[in-house]
Amino acid sequence: MDIPEANGQAAGVVAQDAGLSAHEALAVVLQIRRGELCVLLWRRALPPCEGEWALPGGRLRPEESLGASIRRQLAQKVDVRDLSHLEQLETRSDPDRNPQRRTLATAYLGLVPADIDPVVPDDTRWHPAADLPPMAFDHASIVRAGRRRLRAKLSYTNVGFALAPPEFTMSELSGYYRAALGHDVAATNLRRVLLRRGQIEETGRSVPSGRSGGRPAALFRFRSLSLQITDAFAVLRPPGPGSGGL
Amino acid sequence: MDIPEANGQAAGVVAQDAGLSAHEALAVVLQIRRGELCVLLWRRALPPCEGEWALPGGRLRPEESLGASIRRQLAQKVDVRDLSHLEQLETRSDPDRNPQRRTLATAYLGLVPADIDPVVPDDTRWHPAADLPPMAFDHASIVRAGRRRLRAKLSYTNVGFALAPPEFTMSELSGYYRAALGHDVAATNLRRVLLRRGQIEETGRSVPSGRSGGRPAALFRFRSLSLQITDAFAVLRPPGPGSGGL
DNA sequence: GCAAAAGTGTTCGGGATACACCCATGC
DNA sequence: GCATGGGTGTATCCCGAACACTTTTGC
């Protein structure tokens, strides 16, 4: 997949004079697995950073956008249809981030719902996002940026739809929130918050209680499966009645 | 400044096969001028988009980061020391965003305090951000993205420090907030909010009242001149006393 | 004294957490 | 009936907006 070194270097020297540079798309793909926030990484078999873990992604092709590029490249790691959300994070451009050759990288945040278990290649594995293995280049800090972004957006958007399966009980959902946020989230209040904001709704069906009894849990679903800002302007909101003021 | 077309095209064809692409840094430079949020634009004298207005910026050089690049290029438009804040916005990669040649652009948001009036070149002018002239490429939508970012960050960070002069009265500050947010902000409440959050402090000095009388206004300053998140986790905050909960 | 602008005190309401209590089910 | 887990009601607190009132100045 990589261009041979000699070729890459030669083209680089010529092209950089013309304002060109190598560019790759990377993705922080997150999923809640067994109650833990995990990130999809692959293990580099070749130098540089041999043996270290890296984010999926790779070179941008001439006629594709960055979004299309990361979708194409993720298809080699997971079924792209498994991705419930994808958004751009940031572009890293430190000239030394790749010691071999100057490479810009645009990072994306991808989310996979908790109910599916994509088949991944042999070199690829899910790692707890809170306990990363030795990682190549600046990829560890990119993972942390993705985690921060997810945590922030859980507070003011409906991005939970991308972590949860199509239907879920409130205790399941609070488990996803706990894993992503890193702290307890009371199911009873989460329910009210998300209902008031119009993020979720009851399906009308429920799940039979387990062997130890207990009231059957109602099934909910997210009302929208695309990103919506549900709590904009926490402060400094526009004045006047009807705008959220007094 | 631009590389001649023939040269650029030829290098592009060769280089794109090697995974290289043209990359530029752009900046949405915003300043409050006469009570209005304005953006710094320059008028293109040559095709493509001749006569339309464009964001300052240009090609990334081989050994500079994007941040360094946009700072260098802004130096041709405004004194870089005038910039009170600079942060990355997003990277645009639509293959057709520049019809002449495939170009990636990483946009930055730059802020200039309200008290200075940088000297700008002849082709460059401040335009109201709410009423943009005909703009080149996708630059109009980038300006809107920068405006959205600023508005959001005024609510949960201390980014106001980058809009205001070193010292200011509360009515001046509420004017900056009004211009940036697009709605009225009561100075009396703004004072309390920013004081409680520890964003601003009194200098101890005050401004003599004007010809028409009135109590002299106290002078304030921001306590930090670098970006701080002062109101994280508006909702779904960690449980337990001492963490912001009950 | 009066107008004008700044600053303070107070009320109000929304929204989020915490917690007690009620409901439905399995055994 | 009782344990178990889900759901509802309610108290409390924080915080921002609104607004009346006080303070300090110029004329």
Is A13 domain-assigned?
Answer: no
Residue A58 reports pLDDT greater than 90:
yes
Residue A3 reports pLDDT greater than 60:
no
Domain end among A154, A172, A205: A154
Same domain, B167 and B99: no
Domain end among B154, B188, B214: B154
- Tell me how crowded residue B210 is: count the other CB atoms within 10 A of its CB: 9
Same domain, B134 and B117: yes
Please report, as a single letter, which amino acid is at residue B86. Answer: L
Residue A2 reports pLDDT greater than 50:
no
Residue A144 reports pLDDT greater than 80:
yes
Is A4 domain-assigned?
Answer: no
Domain end among A154, A185, A205: A154
Same domain, A135 and A188: no
Is B239 domain-assigned?
Answer: no
> What average pLDDT does the segment A87-98 reach?
96
- Name the more confident of B236 and A111: A111
> Using alpha carbons only, how large is chain B's radius of gyration in Å?
21
pLDDT at B80: 85
Which pair of structure tokens corresponds to residue A46? 């070749």
How many CB pairs (< 8 A) connect A and B? 157
Same domain, A36 and A108: yes
Phi and psi, residue A8, nearest 5°: -60, -45
- Kindly state the helix (H) or strand (E) to which residue A124 belongs, with its residue range: strand A124-128
Which chain A residues touch B95 with a CB distance below 8 Å?
62-65
Which pair of structure tokens corresponds to residue B121? 């070149």
Question: What CATH number is attached to the domain comprising B217?
Answer: 1.10.10.10
Residue A16 reports pLDDT greater than 60:
no
Same domain, B120 and B204: no
Tell me which residue of B216, B204, B236, B101 sits closest to A180, measured CA to CA. B236
Same domain, B26 and B118: yes
pLDDT at B47: 83
Same domain, A106 and A197: no
DSSP lists the bridge partners of residue B92 as: B105
Is B60 domain-assigned?
Answer: yes
Q: Taking the C1' atom of D24, which residue's CA lies nearest?
A: B215
Percent of chain A with pLDDT over 70: 89
> pLDDT, tens digit, for every residue of A24-42?
999 999 999 999 999 999 9
Question: What CATH number is attached to the domain comprising B117?
Answer: 3.90.79.10
Q: According to DSSP H, which parts of B51-135 are helical?
A: 66-74
Measure, in angstroms, how far nucleotide C3 C1' is from residue B65 CA.
Answer: 57
The domain of A179 spans 158-222
Cα distances (angstroms) measured from residue A205 to each of A166, A210, A218, B132, B149: 13, 16, 6, 51, 41
pLDDT tens-digit profile, chain B (246 residues)? 444 444 444 444 444 455 678 999 999 999 999 999 999 999 999 888 899 999 999 999 999 999 999 999 999 988 888 999 999 999 999 999 999 899 999 999 999 999 999 999 999 999 999 999 999 999 999 999 999 999 999 999 999 999 999 999 999 999 999 999 999 999 999 999 999 999 999 999 999 987 888 899 999 999 999 999 998 877 788 776 543 332
Same domain, A59 and A145: yes
- Kindly state the helix (H) or strand (E) to which residue A92 belongs, with its residue range: strand A85-92
pLDDT at A11: 47
Q: Taking the C1' atom of D9, which residue's CA lies nearest?
A: A188
Same domain, B44 and B129: yes
pLDDT at B246: 29
Q: Closest residue of B to A106, CA-based?
A: B91
Same domain, B41 and B62: yes
> What average pLDDT does the segment A130-151 reach?
97
Same domain, B143 and B38: yes
- Name the residue facing A235 among B59, B63, B193 (closest C-beta): B193
Please give the Cα distance from A165 to A226 (Å, whole number): 14
Same domain, B114 and B133: yes
